[in-house]
Chains A and B, each alone.
Chain A
Amino acid sequence: MRLSGVGKRYGSGRAILREVDLDLVPGGVLAVSGAIGSGKSTLLKIIAGVSRPSSGRVLDRPRQVGYVPERFPSDERLTARSYLTHMGRLRGMSTRAAAERGVALLDRLALAGGVDTHLRKLSKGNLQKVAVAQSLMVPPALLALDEPWSGLDRGAHGVLGQLIDEVAEAGGAVVFTDHRESVVALTADRVCHLRQGRVVVTGAGPAQWVAVTRVVLRPPALAGPALADPSLHEVLDVREEDGAVVARVDAERSDAFLLAALRRGWSVVRVEEVGR
């Protein structure tokens, strides 16, 4: 899929995007970074086909597109299960297959409150899990996610990373926005930086931007407080492996994270610099 000279302007207002050229390759994960108001969300909407460019062209957009908006509407009167079943049916799935797929995705993302909770009663983080699930009801050939980590708990951070990896491994093109360089570095293999609606840097390999420390921990014998505050300690993701907990942390913040984990009674098994 390719964007050629794409520009966007709402009415007679200022241009949100100007002359954007971008390639999305199957199996690639592209991060769109930039300050607030730089045009990230607008670019993602145009990539997903939600918004039309005012100028330029979008070529070869695949049919199966998954889209996670920046703000998922919370006033839906359906339950999470029923909503995902509807979204699956819109994709051409049978009712049963859609319901099973929806429940499996929400189980994986550990939706709190259960799949039969009404969407309007879900917290922001749990709504975000439903938003991610609806985009993956069928394996997308293009997955566009706008700030998908916002509001997610640390467990879901890791699962979302795995889901993105799975889409890319299956040959899907993934594009996401995030303002944190550490998340971009960990997840993307290419980065496009936007400034005032223009692409100023398109580069491969953001790995060198942020050094990542991999910390293997053993939980305390007695259930204690949570591991650490992901937003406070720049925890990129947390996964469970063979009874131990593996956290990937921004290397610059790893000392503070280790201190917080030790204070909460966790044991450190191994610490290693992994680059990304």
Chain B
Amino acid sequence: MIALVRYTASIMFHSQRYLPSALVFVACMGVFANGAGDQPVVPIFAPMTGAALVCSAWLAVTLINLEDPVQRSISAVNSGRSLLVAVVVVVLLASMALAALVVALPAVLGNDRVTTLDLLTGAVALVAASCLGTAIGLITSRLVVRRPGHSLLSTLLLLVVVLLTRGLPPINPLILRLARTESAGGEVLADTALDAGVAVVVLVLCAVLTRAVSARRE
């Protein structure tokens, strides 16, 4: 599995498809997180969670759509495994690296009002967004939606739906809760963890469904 993850990561780096999502994420940090040194940090995690969702979906869908189906077959024959798990691992690792920047920012900028619970809540929220974004990327990739244009459109559509549909778990209530919280207590962390759990379940279900659909078509 490590070899497959290394190979997938090298495809990502050589293709430079990670650049748009990394730039968007860093730009969002510049806009929303510039007050991380002296303001309450939990509301800052709200837009950054949205950015993490969009960036991880972009990474997953481009990483899958980028690879030639024939090369995917060769890799599968050589490794004896599906590339899907490697894609999930690489996207989550990349998303976690970006999330770590956000979580570390208040400490770097010397915010003395930030608590461990605040940072933990932010980290769990970003993990939840990365998992859900990866799930959306998988289910709208060309493994499921054949045409590249349709694939991209369905990614955007699904992102808009999960972000803006009021009350639809896990991401919309999570973002609204973070935006309204000044300092995270145990209850906020528990609710965020519950949303993260839902996101992980959605990711597993989407991965299984994507695998089943692509296997039927092969």
Contacts and interface: CB of A to CB of B under 8 A. Distances in A.
A137 B75 CA distance: 13
B89 to A, nearest CB: 15
A78 interface: yes
B14 A78 contact: yes
Interface string B1-37: 0011011001100110000000000000000000000
Interface stretch (A86-94, A187-195, A242-250, A257-265): A86-94
A90 B7 contact: yes
A63 B10 CA distance: 26
A73 B70 contact: yes
A53 B53 CA distance: 37
B70 A52 contact: no
A129 to B, nearest CB: 15
Nearest to A63: B80
Which among B3, B68, B71, B74 has the greatest number of chain A C-beta atoms within 10 A?
B74
Given A78-B10, A86-B10, A90-B7, A73 B71 contact: yes
B73 A86 contact: no
Contacts of A45: 73, 218
B73 A69 contact: yes
Interface in B174-191: none
Given A78-B10, A90-B78, A137-B78, A67 B3 contact: no
A43 B218 CA distance: 12
Interface in B32-72: 68, 70-71
B100 interface: no
A109 interface: no
A45 B69 CA distance: 13
B3 A90 contact: yes
Given A89-B3, A90-B4, A90-B7, A75 B74 contact: no
B197 to A, nearest CB: 33
A146 to B, nearest CB: 10
A121 interface: no
A62 B44 CA distance: 54
Given A50-B218, A52-B215, A71 B14 contact: no
How extensive is the interface on chain A, given as a class? Answer: 20 to 34
Given A86-B6, A89-B6, A69 B218 contact: no
B165 interface: no
Contacts of A76: 68, 71
A250 to B, nearest CB: 31
B77 A86 contact: no
A69 B6 CA distance: 23
A99 B140 CA distance: 36
Contacts of A75: 68
Contacts of B11: 77
A88 B60 CA distance: 25
Contacts of B6: 86, 89
B76 interface: yes
Contacts of A82: 10
Contacts of B75: 87, 90
A48 interface: yes
Given A48-B77, A73-B70, 13 more contacts: A10-B217, A45-B73, A45-B218, A50-B77, A50-B218, A66-B77, A73-B68, A76-B71, A77-B15, A87-B75, A87-B78, A89-B7, A90-B75
In the A-B complex, list the 3 residue pairs whose CB atoms are closest, starting with the nearest.
A73-B68, A89-B3, A77-B14
Interface of A: 10, 45, 48-52, 63, 65-67, 69, 71-73, 75-78, 82, 86-87, 89-92, 134, 137
Interface of B: 3-4, 6-7, 10-11, 14-15, 68, 70-71, 73-80, 215-218
